[in-house]
Amino acid sequence: MKVGIIGASFARAAYLPALRHIQDAEVVAVCGARLTSAQAAADEFGVPHAYDDWRRMLAEHRFDLVCIATPTDTHAPMALAALDAGAHVLSEKPTAMDAAEARAMLDRAEALGRVHMIDHELRFNAKRRHVKHLIDTGAIGKLRHVAIHSLGTSWADPRSRAEGDWWSLADQGGGRLGANGSHQVDLLRWWFGEIEAVSGELRTMVPDRLDKQTGRPWTATADDYVQFTAELAGGALATVLLSTVARHAQGNETRIFGSEGTITLANDTERLMYGRAGEPLAEVEVADPYAGLAGLRSGIWNQSVVGLMRELCSAIREQRAPREGATFRDGWRNQLVLDAVRESDRERRWVRLDLARR
């Protein structure tokens, strides 16, 4: 299975280590924004070709799979080109700049009969899978509400980001809603079903920034603070608060409250707690099958990619749709929610999603 990767930084962190655990996957080429970065990744992992031009890479090789880990505004053009070149595609989140781009990716992949996935790797994390098991088996009863809070400090200092950092630029698809909110939306949909309406706010709390090396002033345009409420099927509410500009980090925690029980999960410690009504919360131990694999960087994100890659490559090998994980259809549905949050912020109102369009 011939693999090409666009996006050298994430390739080194996650894709290349994970693909070492796919027996028949051969990474043929890596492309980066800078040739030095692509070459460094290629040298470290024994990849024969390095590029700084993704179009040239696609033209010079025949790939079975192309993995895309680049700024959001490039996802759709790269995915469409890779599909047209004969490849199956894995794309990073958020899926695209908007739902129209995401739908174009889905339609092209389906028309060409390609396997397609979005890298929502947390669907393959053992503890989040156990959360789904608890929900699906009725362990919490009827869902009442969900609270997800992620409060960090990484963007709090005006000198914390380099000038031109795409994560801080709206026209390149940066911001917390896409970077973190897309994962939260995907988990909510996976655990509980479709989101029917949203009300939200986005802010750039620290727009005036200084380059962390030169001190030169520049302006951030992407959201560094997001909060939204999602109405789930059945009427339960989920509240999501995401910030990278807190001066004291409070971590990332998910709390799920049902009529018969409660689940909590803390990202920083990965401590999963569950309790039935009338009983105290108790820790639930769940083994991660990927934690001990050789060559993986630490952290659930890098480890969970292995599970995703195994399912993706099995689907390609067996010429079938993925049985697990987020496909381009999920990516499009997630994008509809993200677009609705932005619409709600602009128009200062609840936005109901048109479920018939799905």
If you average pLDDT over every residue of the chain, what do you get? 97
How sure is the predictor about 354, in pLDDT bands with cuts at 50, 70 and 90?
A: confident
Q: What is the maximum alpha-carbon separation in the chain?
A: 64
Domain ranges of the chain: 2-120+303-326, 123-283+333-352
CB 16 within 8 A of CB 302: no
Q: What is the pLDDT of residue 110?
A: 98
Average pLDDT, stretch 86-115? 98
Average pLDDT, stretch 178-195? 98
pLDDT exceeds 90 at position 327:
yes
Say whether 123-283+333-352 and 2-120+303-326 share the same fold.
no
Average pLDDT, stretch 59-80? 98
User: Which of 197, 202, 337, 184 minimizes the C-alpha distance to 256?
Assistant: 184
pLDDT in tens, 120-173: 999 999 999 999 999 999 999 999 999 999 999 999 999 999 999 999 999 999
- CATH number (1.10.287.110, 3.20.20.80, 3.40.50.720, 3.40.1360.10) of 2-120+303-326 reads 3.40.50.720
State whether residue 23 is helix, strand or coil.
coil
Q: What is the pLDDT of residue 356?
A: 58
End-to-end alpha-carbon separation of the chain, Å? 33
Q: What is the pLDDT of residue 303?
A: 94
Percent of the chain scoring above 90 in pLDDT: 96
pLDDT exceeds 70 at position 224:
yes
User: What is the dihedral sign for C-alpha 130, 131, 132, 136?
Assistant: positive
User: Which of 138, 124, 148 minimizes the C-alpha distance to 274?
Assistant: 138
Rounded CA-CA distance 237/249 in Å is 25
Average pLDDT, stretch 203-224? 97
Answering whether pTM is above 0.95, one says: yes
Q: What is the pLDDT of residue 318?
A: 98
Q: What is the pLDDT of residue 357?
A: 57
42-46-52 Cα angle (round to 5): 20
Average pLDDT, stretch 75-101? 98
CB 103 within 8 A of CB 216: no
Phi and psi torsions of 82, nearest 5° = -65, -40
CB 302 within 8 A of CB 11: no
State whether residue 98 is helix, strand or coil.
coil
Question: Mind giving me the DSSP string for 226-267?
Answer: EEEEEEETTS-EEEEEEES--SS--EEEEEEEESSEEEEEET
Rounded CA-CA distance 246/155 in Å is 8
Q: How would you list the strands of the sheet with 143-151, edge to edge?
A: 282-283, 271-276, 261-266, 251-258, 143-151, 237-243, 225-232, 195-203, 351-352
pLDDT in tens, 6-63: 999 999 999 999 999 999 999 999 999 999 999 999 999 999 999 999 999 999 999 9
Q: What is the pLDDT of residue 358?
A: 56
- CATH number (3.30.360.10, 3.30.565.10, 3.40.50.10800, 3.30.70.270) of 123-283+333-352 reads 3.30.360.10
Q: Which one-letter DSSP state was computed for residue 92?
A: P
Structure tokens at 323: 């049985």
Count the neighbouring beta carbons within 10 Å of the beta carbon of residue 356. 5
Could you tell me which residues are beta bridge partners of residue 39?
none
Structure tokens at 239: 């509240």
Q: What is the pLDDT of residue 252?
A: 94
pLDDT exceeds 90 at position 270:
yes
